[in-house]
Amino acid sequence: MDESKGLALALEEAQIGYREGGIPIGAALVAADGRVLGRGRNMRVQNDNPILHGETSCLQNAGRLPSSAYQGSTMFTTLSPCDMCTGACILYGISRVVIGENKTFLGGEAYLKQRGVEVVVLDSSECRELMEKFIVEKPDVWNEDIGVEERVYSREGIKASSK
């Protein structure tokens, strides 16, 4: 599947999540043959569930699949994946992770690459603007989502730039 089409599916999920009052991070898992295996969005707020991030929600919605289903697959996500979602992509053998943006948060991209996963960052202004809008509106919910009290750019402690 074309990268812009895959990211559009993830962005649609993020926008739905935002309208629901949740954290606007969406994901779509696409098989090597272009079939959409699953779509999901961060549902921590909506479901009061600490582990339903965009990618894990997407995997849950894809359902139980044989390991062969993940071979050559691509996870499209609107935001650089956190450590948990990075681990899930590695665990299931997802071959590529296409990221909408990593300016508001830098997740486990280096680890994905180290483990042989192809990482593509599209630097989508739509994804970034939606995330920045949410962070301004609900900084406490955002900080809770990434497990910090003060906004950071990465788990390595790099502080986010003030705007």
Cα torsion angle, 126, 17, 1, 81, sign: positive
**Distance of alpha carbon 130 from alpha carbon 14, whole angstroms:** 8
In angstroms, what CA-CA distances link 141 with 38, 71, 136? 26, 35, 10
In angstroms, what CA-CA distances link 44 with 19, 117, 146? 14, 26, 11
**Distance of alpha carbon 136 from alpha carbon 128, whole angstroms:** 12
Candidates 12, 13, 20, 55; catalytic one: 55
- 55 catalytic? Reply is yes
Cα torsion angle, 7, 15, 35, 49, sign: positive
Show which residues are catalytic: 55
